[in-house]
Each structure stands twice: as C-alpha cells, then as structure tokens.
Amino acid sequence: MHDYPFVFNLTWLIPLPTALAFFAIILFTNPKKRLSSNVAIAAVVVAWILSWAVAFAFFLKPELVEEPINIAVPWLPIADGYFSMGVAVDAVTAGMLFMVGFVLTMIFIYSSGYMTFPGHLDPEQFPEVAKEGLDPRYSRFFAYISLFATGMLGLVVADNLLMLFIFWEIMGLCSYLLIGFWFEKTYPDPNQITPKQAGLKAFLTTRVGDVLFMMGLIFLFIHAGTLNFQAIFKDAHFLEELATSTVTLPIFGAVSWAALISILIFWGAIGKSAQFPLHVWLPDAMEGPTPVSALIHAATMVSAGVYLIVRMAPLFAASSHAATGALPFVAFIGAFTALFAATIGVAQKDIKKVLAYSTISQLGYMFAALGIGAWVAAIIHLLVHAFFKALLFLGSGSVIHGVEHGHHHVHEHGHGHDDEHGHEEYFDPQDMFNMGGLLKRMPITGWTFIAGALSLAAFPFITAGFWSKDEILAHAWDGGHMAVYWALAIGAFLTAFYTFRQVFLTFFGEPRTEAAAHAPESVRAMTWPLVALAFFAIFGGFVAVPKEFPIFGKIASDFMLHLMEMQGEIYPFLEVEPAKFNWTPALISMVLALSGIVLAWLVYGWKPLKAGQPDPLKRWLGPVYTVLEKKYYFDELYHLIAVRPTLWLASFFARFDRGVIDRIVNWVGAFGRWLAAALRKWFDERFIDGVVNIVGMATTWTGAAVRLIQTGQVQTYLLILLLSVAVLLLLIPLR
C-alpha cells in the first residue's frame, strides 16, 4: 500500500450521511416537514464537504493517478478468497465527486423552495397543508432524494462493478419513485402520459438495459474472478486474452468475449442514459417534480451510464484493439442519438421536454466521444454538462413555478378567463407558447437560464460547453471519424437553434397569457442555487482548455484535461493523446453554433410570437414537423411492437388460464374431494379413529393408575425417592 493523505480514509463515509437522513426522515421526522428538509439538506451538505475534501485532496496531489486509492474490506467468501467491497478514488472519481457533491447540494436547497403545494391538488381536500403551502408529501420527497443521493455518491466511489450495480439499481428505484411522485395527477387528455405511467415506463424500459448489464457483469466475473476495476483494467494480459478468446453466438457469429461483455454492459448504459433505442422513457420522466428532472434526469443518474462506460473504457478499448469490437457500436449509438434527439427537440412545446431531448442528445455526444476514443473529452463534457443542464432544468422549474403562481393569481383575482361552470379550464404551465416576456418578470431566473443556454449552445470562448464540445469535435475530426463529426456538428447547430428557440419563446417578446404576465420571481432558496450553478456553467470550462488553442490556451488552464490524460495513461489500451488543434473543425462548429442562435433569433426573436399564433416552423417544415413533434412515432411503435403484443399475449394467456388450466384444476379438485370423501368413510372413520381412541383410552387408564401415588404429600414423594435411591445404590455392587 502506498502513502496517501488521511482524508481518503473518509471516502467511504461520503454516501453515509444521506442514507442516514433517509432513514431518519422515514422513521422519525416524517410528520415535521421543515425539519425533514433541514435534515436532508444538512446531510447533503456534509456529503458535499466530504466529497470536495476528497476531490481537492486528489487534485492537489495529481501524482496519485499512478496508483489510485482503493480501500476495501473482504465481504463475501467465494471459492478462492474473498469478494471485496470498498471505495476507490482516481481522477475520474474525484471529478465526479466534485460535480455530484455540489449539484446535489444545490438541488436539495432548490427543492426546499420548489416543493410547494402542487397545482393539481384541490386545496379544499387538504386545507391545513394548503395553508402551510407545502406539498403534502414534502418529507417523503426529501427522503427519496436523500436515498437517491446515497445511490449516486455510492456509485461514484464504488471500487467494483457489483457495488456499482447495487447503487445503480438504488438510483433506478428512486427514479421510479420520484417520477411517479405526484401519482394522483391526471390530465384531461387521456393520451397524455400521467406521472404514474411515466414512472412505470422509466422503470421497465431501463430494466431492459439492466438485465443485459447484469449478464455482462456475470460474464465478466466468470472470466476475471473479480469485479474490482483496478484489478481488471490494469491487467493488460487478461484484457488481451479476453479480446482474443471468442464465443460463437447465434446470428452474430463469432465475437470476442471482450466485445460481448462490453456490448452487454453498454446496454445498461443505453437504458440508464436514455440512448436510442431505449430513449423513450426520459422525456416522459419529466412528469416528476422539476428538481427531480434536474437531479436524476439531467445531472447525475443519466450520466451514470456515461460514467460506467468511462470506467469500463479499457475493456472497450481492448475489444477494439484487435478486431472491430464494441467501440464503433458505441460511437454509432452515441452519434445517432445526438443527432436524432436534437431533431426532436426542435419541435417540442413543453419547456422541460426540450431540455429532456437535449439531455439525450448531449449524452449521445459523450457516448460518441467514448466511441471514437476521446475518453478525456467525454469525461470533461460529462462534468460540464451536469452543471449547465442542472442549471437549465432548475431554471425551467423556476419558470414553471412562476407561471403557475401567475395563473393562480389571475384565477383568484378574477380578471382572467374564469369560466362560469365552476371548474377551471386546463392550463399547461409548461407550454412555452403560454409564456413570453418572462425576463422582465423573473430577471434572476432569466439571466441564469440564458447563461446555461449559451453554455448548452456552445457559444464560443466564454462558455464551458464550448470547450468541452469543441474537444469532442476536434477529436472526431482529428481521428478521421467524419460521419461522427458531421452528425455531431449538425447536432450542435440544432442544439443551438432549439435552445435559443426556447430562450426567445420563454423570456422575450410579450407575455402570451395572463399567467405569464403575472408570474413572480421565485423565492431565494430557488434563485441562489441558480446563480451558483451559472458560475460553473460559464467558467467551469476554463480548467479544460487545450494548451495549443490560440490565445485562450495561454490564459486559461488545461489542468483537468491533463489530469484525466495522466489517469488514462495508467490503463492499457486506452489512448488519451490530446487532439491536435485544427482551425477547420473549430471554425465549422463555431459557425454552426452561432448560426443556430441567429436562426433562432430570426424565427422567434425578431418578430415575437403573438398569443395563439402557431409555431412558424410548422408552416415551413410541414409534415416533417409533425413527425418530429410526435418523436418519430417511437412511442407508438413500441406500443405496437412491445406493449400491444404483451397485452395481447397476457389476455390470451388469461383466457387460456380460465378456459383450460382452471378447468383442469377444477377437475383435479373434484377428484380430490371425491377421493377424500371415500377415504374418510372407509379408512379414516374406521381405522384412524380407532387408533386415536385406543391411544386416548390408554392414556386415561395409565393416568388413573399413576395418580394413585400422586397424594400431593411431600413425605410420600420422599419415600418413593428413598426407594428409588435404594434401588440405584443396590445396583452399585452388582455392577
């Protein structure tokens, strides 16, 4: 064991405070809402301090990359030795801890302000809670996100794949619980997915990936005998062997074990990170409360898929070392998803759905980067994206909150379109076409949202998103992956376009509804986290500027890039050469990003939309727009090929069950009853009953005989005792 600063001994404590908070809230503080949220926030602040202590201790001693810290205890005895569980810290973990600890804390604080009494509930039904102004299940919300935080932090510090998988599934459970948090919510449109259904959909869709992931995990364990990251990935000989030994599969033919395991594990990441073709759950997951969308479905859980592949990268690289391997598949899925999701994002109305597709798209960038071997760029983009995407989601939550408040305000004061029949007309506070001009009403939310949007659109030079995205594009160009490069570059153009479409629709122009005109700025617990995240969304990139970049390479730092490169070098097969700087791709991507912004301004900013005016894109794109709006009909397709056959099969089996199985069971039952009656008559009543009676009578007789000596008098007993002892003593000489 090598020397390391003491603070790393605290690593295993990082997931602990929030776990304790979960139990404390569930078991004790549930009835006290403010206390529960304070407990959760206190716990996450402790976790944050611990994560930053560990992360900075690592950043300050970069030479630790040579021998990453691994503290484990033997946990389960297996055939030869022990299965160890423990924590590991390397540069990737440190980077993740830096991001996760901070984002978690910001979102917890934001949630304490966000989880007010929800609009879909009838205040008459919960008069006291409504007066208090907090969600009826406020405490439960904090318990769930605390448990989620445990899952994420535990996943980051896990030193082996099994432990990672366990925390991965904890997060999956929390995701399900939190998406369906407002499970009683329904919509007037029966086709619109409800939170309950969305939770189920997310859980079941990711399950597809997770089952394949677990298969990969089991195969890996069979071959390696361990699941410890360091033990597997530093062993070049083992990886080489895994890459050369092949297995013959039906349909696919012979593939190397490394490629098979890689692809199985990658399916886990596809499910978790909502990549094509398992992307369908993420947009619907937006039914959950917005802090949840920010926390789970933007910043942390979905990026766990990327983190997994980052961790497993040596295996992927080894599989592609000799043969085609798994990397081209990763690159294809990533690049395709990046472009595909970006096109859908262009035609969405819901402010959160746009962000959801943008998340899918950005995660696609990361997978594409991993697929083309830009390991470092993927990590940097993962970290940077978490900051600005959390910011955008929290900003959109603030907007929704404001619009909802405005709506209630209008409704109460009666100068809106109250309808006479007593029930409120359905109003969608998330529809961007119901907004407009909010920058004046909500300045802090507005400006921080614009900061996040600039970063997402990769506005050149000053935003963090530019540096990380540029790094990926430069790699794609440099490595000659032209298809990937163009997919990502067009994706970048679309990203800039839909992001600023969103900005212009939401914040500029005139308010298109009374609700938007009366939206107030959010409370301070919500705006402060926005400001703090905006700082990182803009300046977070300046630790990852390549040295050879003109001008900026001199004034900014390449600390993070360098650290991750050093970390990657210790793993065999992993190529971490920095991309050579080239003006062509850099200029192309800059021009595309800027033209996306300008185009958005031309369409939505120059002449702001009036109330009720349809999206101008609809006229220009025609049927294509409808296809995009309907998300390429993937939900309908899956409904047709997966859900409907399953339901049909289920109903068929139900009929089969009733018609055939039940009848057989009934026959068997009737036969059994007949047999039982016969046995009772001929066997039970005569034979068994007779035996039982004899036993009973024998007991009675014996009792009657024995009770003669039971006089109840001590002296009689003593006399019997004397006789017994005398008999025993007589036996001694006979021995």
Residues that bind other proteins (CB under 8 A): 710-716, 718-719, 722-723, 726, 729-730, 732-733
Q: What does the H/E/C string look like for 298-330? A: HHCHHHHHHHHHHHHHHHHHHHHHHCCCCHHHH
Is residue 563 a contact partner of residue 544, using CB atoms and an 8 Å limit? no
- The nearer residue to other proteins, 623 or 712, going by C-beta atoms, is 712
- The nearer residue to other proteins, 251 or 705, going by C-beta atoms, is 705
H/E element holding 71? Answer: strand 69-78
- The nearer residue to other proteins, 76 or 734, going by C-beta atoms, is 734
Show the tokens assigned to 459.
Answer: 């506005």
* Rounded-to-10 torsion of CA 475, 480, 482, 488: -10
55 vs 61: CA distance, rounded Å: 10
- The nearer residue to other proteins, 704 or 730, going by C-beta atoms, is 730
Cα angle value 219/165/536 (rounded, 5°): 130
The helix/strand/coil state of 137 is coil
Least distance in Å: CB of 726 to other proteins?
6
319 vs 219: CA distance, rounded Å: 15
- The nearer residue to other proteins, 647 or 725, going by C-beta atoms, is 725
Show the tokens assigned to 190.
Answer: 């029966």
Least distance in Å: CB of 713 to other proteins?
5
Least distance in Å: CB of 718 to other proteins?
6
Residues 6+ away with beta carbon under 8 Å from 332: 371
- The nearer residue to other proteins, 642 or 709, going by C-beta atoms, is 709
The helix/strand/coil state of 628 is helix
Task: Determine the length of the chain.
Answer: 735
Angle between helices 301-322 and 375-413 in degrees, nearest 10 = 160
- The nearer residue to other proteins, 248 or 715, going by C-beta atoms, is 715
The helix/strand/coil state of 187 is coil
Burial of residue 291 (number of CB atoms within 10 Å: 0-12, 13-18, 19+):
buried
- The nearer residue to other proteins, 60 or 708, going by C-beta atoms, is 708
Show the tokens assigned to 593.
Answer: 């990003």
Least distance in Å: CB of 734 to other proteins?
12
Other Cβ atoms within 10 Å of 228 Cβ, number: 22
DSSP 586-607: HHHHHHHHHHHHHHHIIIIISS
Least distance in Å: CB of 723 to other proteins?
7
- The nearer residue to other proteins, 668 or 722, going by C-beta atoms, is 722
- The nearer residue to other proteins, 691 or 726, going by C-beta atoms, is 726
278 vs 3: CA distance, rounded Å: 44
Least distance in Å: CB of 733 to other proteins?
7
For residue 521, what is the DSSP state? P
Least distance in Å: CB of 151 to other proteins?
56
290 vs 220: CA distance, rounded Å: 37
305 vs 291: CA distance, rounded Å: 20
**Residue 587 CA from chain centroid, whole number:** 35
- The nearer residue to other proteins, 73 or 727, going by C-beta atoms, is 727
Least distance in Å: CB of 697 to other proteins?
23
Please give the single-letter amino acid code of residue 712.
Answer: G
Cα–Cα nearest to 428, from 395, 445, 403: 403
Least distance in Å: CB of 5 to other proteins?
54
DSSP 242-308: HHH-EEEETTTEEEEHHHHHHHHHHHHHHHHTT-TTSTTHHHHGGGS-HHHHHIIIIISHHHHHHHH
Least distance in Å: CB of 701 to other proteins?
20
Please give the single-letter amino acid code of residue 207.
Answer: R
Least distance in Å: CB of 719 to other proteins?
6
Other Cβ atoms within 10 Å of 652 Cβ, number: 11
- The nearer residue to other proteins, 421 or 707, going by C-beta atoms, is 707
Least distance in Å: CB of 703 to other proteins?
14
Show the tokens assigned to 423.
Answer: 């029930």
Is residue 373 a contact partner of residue 400, using CB atoms and an 8 Å limit? no
**Residue 58 CA from chain centroid, whole number:** 26
- The nearer residue to other proteins, 584 or 715, going by C-beta atoms, is 715
455 vs 23: CA distance, rounded Å: 38
Q: Pairing relation of β-strands 253-256 and 246-249?
A: antiparallel
Instruction: For residue 317, give Cα distances in angstroms to 215, 242, 373.
Output: 20, 12, 8
604 vs 121: CA distance, rounded Å: 34
H/E element holding 428? Answer: none
Least distance in Å: CB of 32 to other proteins?
50
- The nearer residue to other proteins, 664 or 727, going by C-beta atoms, is 727
Other Cβ atoms within 10 Å of 406 Cβ, number: 25
- The nearer residue to other proteins, 248 or 713, going by C-beta atoms, is 713
Least distance in Å: CB of 708 to other proteins?
12
Residues 6+ away with beta carbon under 8 Å from 664: none
- The nearer residue to other proteins, 619 or 707, going by C-beta atoms, is 707
- The nearer residue to other proteins, 705 or 732, going by C-beta atoms, is 732
- The nearer residue to other proteins, 695 or 718, going by C-beta atoms, is 718
Least distance in Å: CB of 696 to other proteins?
22
Least distance in Å: CB of 705 to other proteins?
16
Least distance in Å: CB of 717 to other proteins?
9
Is residue 344 a contact partner of residue 491, using CB atoms and an 8 Å limit? no
